[in-house]
Structure 1
Amino acid sequence: MTTVLKFGGSSVATVEQIQSIANYLKSRAAEGEKLVVVVSAMGKMTDSLIAQAQAITDRPERRELDRLLAIGEEQTISLLSIALNSLGVKALSQTGAQAGISTMGLHTKSKIKQIDGNLLRQKLETYDVVIVAGFQGVNELGDVTTLGRGGSDTTAVALAAVLDKRCEIYTDVDGVYTADPRIHAAAQPIPHISYDEMMEMSALGSKVMEMRSVELGKKYGVHIFVGKTLESKRGTWIMEATETMEQKAVTSVSVTKNVLTVSIKHVPQTNAAVADIFELLSNRHVNIDMISQTTFDSDIFLSFSCPLDEEEFLDEALKDIMDRFTTVKVDRHNQHAKLSVVGIGMRDATGVASKLFAIFRAENIPFYQVTTSEISISYTIAQADIERTVAAIANAFEL
């Protein structure tokens, strides 16, 4: 049986931490487990590499940036392999390309196209532990690409999907909570959560797991454990929903900080104009999130949000839009956040929206956009209002 384990950047931030993980892996390998270990870059190494590139230019060429960023994970796999071998454990380090991870799409935000699981199986016939660089793969041109935010989680779950569907994610938090404990200190741990809820939470701001990795887990039936590195087994299992999970209408509240909200006024009142605007945004690869549209007289007013770190793509798209539609006026705000209430029980529960709006009224908290899905309700609020809004909702729903 092969288990895939993933250790994040904070878990491998120092050589001493890497040595501690090596000792832990040695104890598991001694019990006969075959291990594939996915690691991130050490600590803030990725941020440091980006800063070095931006010291040269504000907009480094993305192919070269991928080549640079891949260095971070490759440093970690080498050090961990050295540590394991020094302990007498047969270990081998592998880049994403060596592990058979093929990617497609844009540099710095690629997606996994396929994985040749036979390559790892062959290595595991000789080695007890194979350490794979997370966050990276290789495209059809043979270029190194990176997978974007949370890419190492995606790497780990994707590898588990082609092996024995067992994945353990170790990080600096001991599982999934009803709210971010850094925002709401009274947040409670969640022992089991459904794939759908975790995907929704990830999409709506939770930093514990990257949404693509949970989606892969659901698609291929990978049970995912999330826990704190080298501590107790307390953590969260992500799996199919159970009847018990569905009894509670609201499971958690998630927050996405650093959100850009954009309003486009005086759009011509035609379906073609709206379609053209979103086509121009898509052409520039802007990741649109919340969308609202209002029609007044002969004008359309569009609003949407996107991540602040996509501002470069947004600038290009807005220029295209204003060149195409000379009458439009654009307003943008970058001090917003998205707050989302999530729960698989919302599918059958009534009154959740009413209760939430009552909370905003009672606490005198303004909101600027509202969107819903089958299991969530999301609001755009000012970043300054995050803590008191989360506290009010957590108290009202006993989270």
Structure 2
Amino acid sequence: MENSVLKFGGTSVGDFDKIREIAGSLRDRTILGEKLIVVVSAMGGTTDELLSNVKSLSPAPKDDHIALLVTTGEQQTISYLSIVLEDLGVRTKAMTGFQAGIKTFGSHMKSRISEIDKSCLLSALQENDVLVVAGFQGVNEQNEITTLGRGGSDTTAVAIAASCGMPCEIYTDVDGVYATDPRVYEHAKRIYSISYDEMMEMSALGAGVLETRSIEIAKNHSIPLYLGRTLSEEKGTWIMQETEVLERKAVVGAALDEDIIHATVFEPCAESMLIFDLFKKFDEESINVDMISQMSGSEGFQLSFTVKDAESARLDQIFTEMRLLHPDMSLTMETRLCKVSIIGSGMRDMSGVASKAFMALNDSGIRFYQTTTSEISISYVVDKEHGKHAVESFAAAFDL
């Protein structure tokens, strides 16, 4: 029987009863002959509690100290689950990111996986039926503990699956991927199969079901990726190569991102170096910039873009530095806006999508301030108060 990598999120392991239920399910799979690598997050709320403790102790702690602390949340979970599995008679080994051979590079709190020494995992799996691996963490070249940032446990699971050549199942508190967030549009339809590219685009544009890096890894290594509700018999979503998706639509989903800042900078100089200096700084600070539009003419140079609301403090600091280099620069930042997007690989060769989307907004009386397109998505900046209405309009227009 095929071995698999499974991942359980924080809500799935949120208390001891849930951990016992998961352990029972894992035991049943091992009885059928499977060997499993199980990646787990910290129990729900644990990481936030640890970070809150840090804030009460220091206003500016070092990232390496924070990383060392927050990774203890996952280590608690692997210990609890392994203890229960052993009591059920399952040969189990708990492994930290370091023990699992997960090597990283980058900052302590937002590292990326450089490689996984799969021999650590495969040799341990020969002697055990279940490996319980701490998600979200690894070690850098200095053997310092690092974290993988938001969605890091998803990334851990998929990276292990890619390294070991196994399929990956991710279990959480949702039934699968929906065409749009059911909390925004209650009639949203579940998607039973979706391409890697479409899922990456939905994730990047605000659908927070899976972290983008994990989908990218799955695509690059052709890893079958399943998303479903923990211990549910309801059918979830398979994320796969586009050629394997049976029914292809022009638009498969709509996403809403309310956590954005819309910034516009202007300098009365058409030959300005502002864009070079600004994006160099964004790169140094690892700030992801989205929805970029640029205009230049005889009156000067204007650049508009969006960033995540969480970057507001760092953005303020960057603009303070930019004013020293470009004293004539003017700036406006707006937080009253949001981004709504439609996604679908069928846009590549199916006509009429853009006009249909425009008509949906127009018929609903929704004004948009900026639009950008990719090969498989169209995004609009609209007033935040109209964000949910825009999603509903797209859902009706494209049968989502």
Asked if these proteins are the same fold (TM beyond 0.5), I'd say yes
Q: Which amino acid aligns with 1:171?
A: T
Q: Alignment partner of 2:304: what SS?
A: strand
* Structure 1 position 230 matched with structure 2 position 224: no
Q: Alignment partner of 1:242: what SS?
A: helix
In the alignment, which residue of structure 2 is the partner of 1:313? Answer: 314
Q: Is the 8 A contact 2:104 2:111 kept in 1?
A: yes
Distance in 1, Cα, partners of 2:245 & 2:131: 38
Q: Alignment partner of 1:368: what SS?
A: strand
* Structure 1 position 53 matched with structure 2 position 50: no
Range with bigger deviation, 344-353 or 289-298: 289-298
Q: Alignment partner of 2:232: what SS?
A: coil
In the alignment, which residue of structure 2 is the partner of 1:83? Answer: 84
Deviation at 1:49? Answer: 1.6
After superposition, what is the alpha-carbon deviation per residue over 1:76-114, rounded to whole angstroms, capped at 9, x for unaligned?
Answer: 111111111111111111111110000001121110000
Distance in 1, Cα, partners of 2:373 & 2:247: 18
Distance in 1, Cα, partners of 2:92 & 2:81: 9
Distance in 1, Cα, partners of 2:37 & 2:145: 21
Q: Alignment partner of 2:385: what SS?
A: helix
After superposition, what is the alpha-carbon deviation per residue over 1:291-337, rounded to whole angstroms, capped at 9, x for unaligned?
Answer: 11122423111111111122233222212211110111111122332
Q: Structure 2 vs 1, CA of residues 125 and 234 (structure 1 numbering), >3 Å: closer, same or farther?
A: same
Q: Is the 8 A contact 2:22 2:231 kept in 1?
A: yes
In the alignment, which residue of structure 1 is the partner of 2:119? Answer: 118
Q: Alignment partner of 2:289: what SS?
A: coil
Q: Which amino acid aligns with 1:234?
A: K
Deviation at 1:242? Answer: 2.8
* Structure 1 position 213 matched with structure 2 position 211: no
* Structure 1 position 342 matched with structure 2 position 346: no
Distance in 2, Cα, partners of 1:196 & 1:309: 26
Distance in 1, Cα, partners of 2:70 & 2:378: 36
In the alignment, which residue of structure 1 is the partner of 2:204? Answer: 203
Distance in 2, Cα, partners of 1:85 & 1:75: 16
* Structure 1 position 262 matched with structure 2 position 263: yes
Superposition pairs of residues 150-165 of structure 1, within 5 angstroms: 150-165=151-166
Distance in 2, Cα, partners of 1:113 & 1:284: 20
Superposition pairs of residues 94-133 of structure 1, within 5 angstroms: 94-133=95-134
Distance in 2, Cα, partners of 1:303 & 1:47: 33
Q: Alignment partner of 1:5: what SS?
A: strand
Q: Is the 8 A contact 1:194 1:245 kept in 2?
A: no
Distance in 1, Cα, partners of 2:336 & 2:246: 35
Distance in 1, Cα, partners of 2:158 & 2:348: 28
Distance in 2, Cα, partners of 1:156 & 1:181: 26
Structure 2: segments with no counterpart, 5+ residues: none
Q: Structure 2 vs 1, CA of residues 244 and 145 (structure 1 numbering), >3 Å: closer, same or farther?
A: closer
Deviation at 1:381? Answer: 2.3
* Structure 1 position 330 matched with structure 2 position 331: yes
RMSD, matched Cα: 1.5
TM-score normalized by the length of structure 1 = 0.97
Q: Which amino acid aligns with 2:75?
A: E
TM-score normalized by the length of structure 2 = 0.96
* Structure 1 position 396 matched with structure 2 position 397: yes
Superposition pairs of residues 264-283 of structure 1, within 5 angstroms: 264-266=265-267, 268-270=269-271, 272-283=273-284
Q: Which amino acid aligns with 1:303?
A: S
Q: Alignment partner of 1:125: what SS?
A: helix
Distance in 1, Cα, partners of 2:337 & 2:37: 40
Superposition pairs of residues 11-90 of structure 1, within 5 angstroms: 11-90=12-91
Q: Which amino acid aligns with 2:352?
A: G
Distance in 1, Cα, partners of 2:122 & 2:388: 47
In the alignment, which residue of structure 2 is the partner of 1:250? Answer: 251
Q: Is the 8 A contact 1:110 1:145 kept in 2?
A: yes
In the alignment, which residue of structure 2 is the partner of 1:148? Answer: 149
Q: Which amino acid aligns with 1:101?
A: I
Deviation at 1:246? Answer: 6.4
Q: Structure 2 vs 1, CA of residues 55 and 366 (structure 1 numbering), >3 Å: closer, same or farther?
A: farther
The alignment of Structure 1 onto Structure 2 pairs a total of residues equal to 399
Q: Which amino acid aligns with 1:319?
A: T
Distance in 2, Cα, partners of 1:363 & 1:301: 30
Deviation at 1:352? Answer: 0.9
After superposition, what is the alpha-carbon deviation per residue over 1:17-75, rounded to whole angstroms, capped at 9, x for unaligned?
Answer: 11110011010011111100000111121122222222234443211111111011111
Q: Structure 2 vs 1, CA of residues 390 and 59 (structure 1 numbering), >3 Å: closer, same or farther?
A: farther
